[in-house]
């Protein structure tokens, strides 16, 4: 169910040309709070720990993504949720 | 066809709008959906970071950096950012004039200024030489310098001569003029004197010619002869400029 909703939101935003704005907003927020650098460091650690061989992309994804999700500060997450909701309501108000 | 397409589009859009509206109005649904949307966006970003770093490590760009770091520890710290060693090993020459240690690359321009060969440092050099010659030496060892001193002398004397002669010349050229003109000629003299210092003889000749031509039209031959004699007197007596002005007119009026 949640997956469907997510797809729906993506679709609606894309139609209204709001998707780019939203993704840009989220990116800037995350970079500001330093989340991106933290994730990068964790990645590099994960890669360099295995001295002999470099792990594959799949391995990295499997190890790094849960870490990345947890690294997002709660305040930033809440802010972003609020903003997204308000954007969606606005889109709905001013119609298609 | 187009009309039907438009209608279809409108219908689709309206359906979408309804759907969206339902989604948005239901708050709980909205929250969960937004959260999942956000998670997706975060995952996309992490993927981007992973791809980027993984590629870098695979192409072993980081390994090269690490090797360079090890290499730098061995070298001594006298290297430029372009990995050049100190270039400041230029020899310093000792200036024979001022006895200063000058860099080899700057030696020629320094000499030019120091010895007075350049334009701007002309006066500075002559001053230096004049002071040094007056204090210590009578015979300067540099051939170019005495000529510079002579030039200085010529300039100074020429200025004085030029000023006086110019004043006289201007006043003579305007025969029967008002005192205003005498006032005008004086500032002209101050500006012209410096320029025409060396052409004293030529200027006096010109003045004489001018006076001859001017005097012939307005005044009589008698007055012209009187003005000529008075001009000669003016040349000899440099200070009596105003009186000289009045003397030809007075001589004319007397007669």
Q: Which domain holds residue A58?
A: 3-94
How far apart are alpha carbons B45 and B43 in whole angstroms?
5
- Does the global pTM surpass 0.80? no
> Which of B66-70, B104-108, B132-136, B184-188 is most confident?
B104-108
First-to-last CA distance in chain A? Answer: 24
- Quote the minimal CA–CA distance from A70 to chain B in Å: 11
- Angle B216-B221-B224 from CA coordinates, rounded to 5°: 75
Highest mean pLDDT (candidates B93-102, B123-132, B185-194): B93-102
Cα→Cα distances B47→A2, A4, A6, A54, A62, Å: 21, 22, 18, 17, 10
| Pairing status of strand B101-103 against strand B92-94 | antiparallel
Percent of chain A whose pLDDT exceeds 70? 86
**Rounded Cα gap, residues B1 and A70, in angstroms:** 53
Is A54's CB within 8 Å of B19's CB? no
Which of B85 and B223 is assigned the larger pLDDT? Answer: B85
| CA atoms of B222 and B219, how far apart (whole Å) | 8
Q: At B144, is the pLDDT very low, low, confident or very high (cuts 50, 70, 90)?
A: very low
Q: How many residues does chain A have?
A: 96
> CB-CB: which of A23, A43, A57 is closest to B41?
A23
* pLDDT reading at A8 higher than 60: yes
- Write B187-196 long-range contacts (CB < 8 A, 24+): B189/B163, B190/B163, B192/B162, B192/B166, B193/B159, B193/B162, B193/B163, B193/B166, B194/B159, B194/B162, B196/B162, B196/B166
CA distance B148 to B126: 7
The whole-number pLDDT of residue B151 equals 52
Measure the CA–CA gap between B188 and B90, rounded to whole angstroms: 55
CA distance B4 to chain A (A): 20
Count of A-B CB contacts under 8 Å: 108
Q: Which of the residues B14, B44, B53 would you substitute to probe the A interface, choosing the one with the greatest number of A C-beta atoms within 10 Å?
A: B53
Residues of A in contact with B24 (CB under 8 A): 88-89, 92
Residue in the block written with tokens 């060969």: B117
Average pLDDT over residues B13-24: 74
CA B122 to each of CA B61, B113, B118, B126, B148: distance values in angstroms, whole numbers, following the listed order: 61, 8, 6, 6, 9
**3-state DSSP assignment of residue A90:** helix
Place of tokens 């002309």: B122
Which range is least confidently modeled, A8-12, B4-8, B45-49? A8-12
Residues of B in contact with A9 (CB under 8 A): 23, 33-34, 37
Q: Domains in chain A: how many in total?
A: 1
CB burial readout B195-211, b (16+ within 10 A) else e: ebbeebeebbeebbebb
The CATH number linked to A62 is: 1.10.246.140
> What is the residue-wise DSSP string for chain B?
-HHHHHHHHHHHHHHHHHHHHHHHHSHHHHHHHHHHHHHHHHHHHHHHHHHHHHHHHHTTHHHHHHHHHHHHHHS-S-B-TTS-B----PPEEEPTTT--EEEGGGHHHHHHHHHT-SSTTHHHHHHHHHHHHHHT-SS-S-THHHHHHHHHHHHHHHHHHHHHHHHHHHHHHSTT--HHHHHHHHHHHHHHHHHTTT-HHHHHHHHHHHHHHHHHTTS-HHHHHHHHHHHHHHHH-SS-HHHHHHHHHHHHHH-
Q: How confident is the model at residue B181 (pLDDT cuts 50, 70, 90)?
A: very low
Span B15-37, average pLDDT: 78
Global ipTM? 0.86
Burial of B108 (0-12, 13-18, 19+ CB in 10 A): exposed
Q: Is pLDDT above 70 for B149?
A: no
CB contact under 8 A, B51 and A96: no
């Amino acid at each position: 169910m949640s997956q469907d909703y997510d797809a729906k939101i993506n679709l609606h935003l894309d139609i209204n040309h709001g998707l780019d704005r939203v993704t840009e907003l989220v990116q800037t927020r995350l970079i500001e709070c330093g989340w991106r650098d933290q994730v990068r460091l964790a990645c590099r650690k994960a890669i360099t720990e295995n001295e002999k061989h470099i792990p594959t992309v799949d391995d990295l994804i499997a190890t790094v993504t849960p870490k990345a999700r947890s690294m997002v500060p709660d305040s930033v997450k809440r802010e972003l949720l609020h903003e997204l909701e308000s954007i969606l309501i606005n889109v709905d108000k001013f119609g298609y | 066809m187009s009309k039907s397409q438009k209608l279809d589009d409108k219908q689709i859009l309206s359906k979408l709008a309804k759907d969206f509206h339902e989604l948005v109005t239901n708050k709980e649904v909205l929250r969960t959906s937004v959260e999942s949307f956000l998670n997706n966006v975060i995952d996309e970003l992490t993927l981007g970071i992973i791809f980027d770093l993984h590629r870098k490590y695979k192409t072993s760009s980081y390994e090269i950096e690490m090797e360079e770091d090890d290499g730098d520890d061995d070298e001594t710290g006298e290297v430029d950012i372009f990995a050049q060693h100190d270039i400041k090993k230029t020899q310093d020459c000792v200036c024979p004039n001022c006895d200063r240690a000058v860099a080899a690359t700057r030696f020629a321009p320094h000499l030019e200024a120091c010895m007075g060969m350049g334009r701007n440092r002309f006066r500075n050099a002559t001053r230096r030489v004049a002071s040094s010659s007056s204090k210590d030496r009578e015979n300067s060892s540099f051939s170019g310098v005495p000529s510079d001193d002579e030039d200085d002398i010529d300039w100074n004397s020429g200025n004085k001569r030029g000023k006086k002669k110019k004043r006289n010349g201007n006043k003579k050229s305007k025969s029967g003029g008002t005192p205003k003109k005498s006032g005008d000629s004086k500032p002209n003299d101050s500006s012209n004197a410096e320029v025409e210092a060396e052409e004293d003889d030529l200027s006096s000749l010109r003045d004489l010619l001018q006076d001859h031509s001017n005097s012939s039209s307005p005044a009589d031959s008698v007055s012209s002869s009187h003005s000529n004699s008075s001009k000669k007197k003016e040349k000899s007596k440099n200070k009596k400029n105003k009186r000289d002005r009045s003397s030809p007119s007075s001589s004319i009026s007397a007669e």
